[in-house]
Structure 1
Amino acid sequence: MIQIPNEIRPIRAEDTDALINIWLVASRISHHFLGVERLLLQAEQVRDIYLKQAENWVIIHDGKPAGFIGLVGQFIGGLFVDPNIQGKGLGYQLLAHALDLKKALELEVYALNTQAHNFYLRNGFVEIARFAEDDEGLPFTVIHMRRDP
């Protein structure tokens, strides 16, 4: 079976619904501690605010959007891959694309999201700070990480 390489391209308006669904499904798993109500509210904010403010790149797998990375300068605002196809290197490909563009990257990840934290550690990020609360003042530890070129 021939494997077609995944395309990474800028987000298009028609990608929005698929990417919000990927964000919500992935967040219900990785950010379960925030609760469904808060995640549904955040999904609206991702759609109405964050996707419009960030430089977003979508990865196409089997002909459809399978994940995305949002960049604000050298800061990763989010990296999400459809949980049904995680483990196939799509997150790594998005990260590599961002590194090619920006050289150095920073991000924040919830300490409770051990899968993402470990992913970033495996990909050369180091912890530079910890905060006892997230950006909304909730009592969830956030780890600030950086990767230099």
Structure 2
Amino acid sequence: MKNRQATTNDYEAILNLWDRSVSATHDFLSLKDKEDIKKEIPMYFPHLDVRLWFVENVLIGFSGTNRQHLEMLFLDPAETGKGYGKQIMQQLIKEFNVRSVDVNKDNENAKMFYLKNGFTIVSEEPTDSSGRQYPILHLELK
């Protein structure tokens, strides 16, 4: 699996992948919140190390890290269940020293994914960082 740092030219592809992934996995989000979040995401990119992840030159996902914290990890829904998420997570831990991540409490699959990859829940917030009514779990690598 290959990765490269994203550029501003990649933002449209990233947002399209994000939209497909969230549509497939975040049924707890209201349509308005999903649209608002999609508009907000590009504001975070300049502050993150955003990586595009490829298998045989096909974009399968992207991640965004800030120091040792994983801010975002999204896979194309057509590529889930193939072990790519685990491969990406292991690279993020080993090569980028990721040690923490936050996840929507209502996103059961993501929560289980991080727990299987060695993270443990250390705390919980009743809202997301924008004050939306989506509880957030804070996880750290064991």
TM-score (norm 1): 0.86
Instruction: Render the CA deviation track for 1:42-82: whole Å, top value 9, x for unaligned.
Output: 112112x1122110111112423210110011111100000
Matches within 5 A, 1:57-136: 57-136=51-130
From 44, 50, 53, give the equivalent of 1:50: 44
Q: Find the aligned partners of 1:53 and 1:113 in 2 and give their Cα distance.
A: 25
Structure 2 residue matching 1:143: 3-state secondary structure: strand
Distance 2:69 2:102 in 1: 9
- Aligned 8 A contact 2:70 2:98 in 1: no
Correspondence for 1:38 among 2, 27, 33: 33
In 1: Cα distance, 2:56 partner to 2:38 partner: 25
- Worse-superposed segment, 126-135 or 11-20: 11-20
Q: Answer with 128-137 or 116-125: which moved more.
A: 128-137
Per the TM alignment, residue 137 of structure 1 is displaced from its structure 2 partner at its CA by 1.9
- Runs ≥4 in structure 1, deviation > 6 angstroms? none
Q: Is the 8 A contact 1:74 1:106 kept in 2?
A: yes
Between the two proteins, what is the percent identity of the paired residues?
24
**Matching residue's letter, 1:38:** D
Q: Is the 8 A contact 1:10 1:57 kept in 2?
A: yes
Stretches of structure 2 that go unaligned for 5 or more consecutive residues are none
Q: Partner of 1:34: helix, strand, or coil?
A: coil
Which of 24, 42, 56 does residue 19 from structure 2 map onto?
24
**RMSD, matched Cα:** 1.6
Report the Cα offset of residue 104 of structure 1: 4.5
User: What does residue 140 of structure 1 align with?
Assistant: 134
Distance between the aligned counterparts of 1:104 and 1:13, measured in 2? 23
- Which residue identity is paired with 1:139? Q
- Report the number of matched residues: 142
Partner amino acid for 2:81?
Answer: G
CA contact (8 A) 1:8 1:94 kept: no
- Distance between the aligned counterparts of 1:119 and 1:68, measured in 2? 16
